[in-house]
Amino acid sequence: MTIRLSHSALALGLLIAAALPATAQDAPTLYFSAIPDDDETKLEERFDKVADYLEETLGVPVDYVPVKDYAASVTAFRNDQIQLAWFGGLSGVQARRLVPGSRAIAQGAEDEYFISYIIANTGTGITATGNGDLPEAIGGRSFTFGAQGSTSGRLMPEYFLREITGKAPDEIFSDIGYSGDHGQTMRLVASGAYDLGALNYSVYDTAVAEAAAETETTDVIWRSPPYPDYNWTIRGDVDARWGDGFADRVQAALIGIDDAELLASFPRSAFIASENALYAPIEETARELDLID
């Protein structure tokens, strides 16, 4: 049996449909990712919750896309496989240079003045100097950075090592490695696989607060000067896809996160507004080290 609607009923239906707000399913999906700076399971748990929050707040479908390394996050952003990303200072600079119009829209309250630690296996006998200087005893030891594209695990530690000693890392240390992420750096130094390592201060401080086993055989022997680091960066073409002002809505949503548990998983006390200009020092440092043109 064929059901036929009267012209008046059809018109009424169209009017009602036009009056209703578009559902999340009617809009394109917003894909986002993050640099893989920690254990994959922790990252998925954290960012799946972020996806749920953004979807509810923005009214569009939102999916988290895991990536295998720092370079892959930048590539995914360049290729429009993701439109939003939680980058480190360096990866954010790299991504924004590849996608004109893209901008840093938010950062953790702690990211304006971020720091790196150098930690040592306790068996080395190396301890902090007490006056903030780099211990001379690090010379000739084995050393691991984090990921090669990490701001806090490689870029800035290398910059400060060169600045303080006047030497390249391979002139200071007997062996140099790249662990891939901050948690792995801590594990490698704790096990004695490397004497020393550079990592994100928040990862180590969290491990201390949780009484992680790795902190029993490692000590912080140096703290870097502060520098800008992590940031949420969004592509410059999102307004064309999701409507005028969408990038600003995403920024407001991120700054509006007030779930204490979610913030603690980063860990950050809050997210605040950011802009590209704040990361000029990172870009300059990357040029000095020939990491970007």
pLDDT for 12 equals: 37
Question: In whole angstroms, what is the distance from residue 140 CA to residue 143 CA?
Answer: 9
Fold adopted by 115-223: D-Maltodextrin-Binding Protein; domain 2 (3.40.190)
Question: In whole angstroms, what is the distance from residue 118 CA to residue 152 CA?
Answer: 10
pLDDT for 272 equals: 97
| pLDDT tens profile 16-38 | 334 434 444 578 999 999 999 87
Instruction: Report, as an integer, the average pLDDT of 164-168.
Output: 96
| pLDDT tens profile 48-100 | 999 999 999 999 999 999 999 999 999 999 999 999 999 999 999 999 999 99
| pLDDT tens profile 209-229 | 999 999 999 999 999 999 999
Least confident of 43-47, 63-67, 121-125: 43-47
pLDDT for 25 equals: 54
pLDDT for 38 equals: 77
Question: In whole angstroms, what is the distance from residue 69 CA to residue 58 CA?
Answer: 28
pLDDT band at 13 (very low <50, low <70, confident <90, very high): very low
Tokens matching residue 49: 């919750």
CATH number of 27-112+228-288: 3.40.190.10
Domain definitions of the chain by residue range: 27-112+228-288, 115-223
Tokens matching residue 2: 């064929």
Percent of the chain clearing pLDDT 70 (strictly above): 91
Report pTM.
Answer: 0.81
| pLDDT tens profile 233-252 | 999 999 999 999 999 999 99
Question: In whole angstroms, what is the distance from residue 293 CA to residue 178 CA?
Answer: 22
Q: Output 77 or 8, whichever has higher pLDDT.
A: 77
Please list the residues that pair with 177 across neighbouring strands. 144
pLDDT band at 3 (very low <50, low <70, confident <90, very high): very low
- Is the predicted pLDDT of residue 10 greater than 60, yes or no? no
Mean pLDDT estimate for the chain: 91
Tokens matching residue 286: 């990357």
Two domains, one topology: 27-112+228-288 and 115-223: yes
Q: Residue 191 corresponds to which amino acid? A: S
- Is the predicted pLDDT of residue 1 greater than 70, yes or no? no
pLDDT for 40 equals: 83
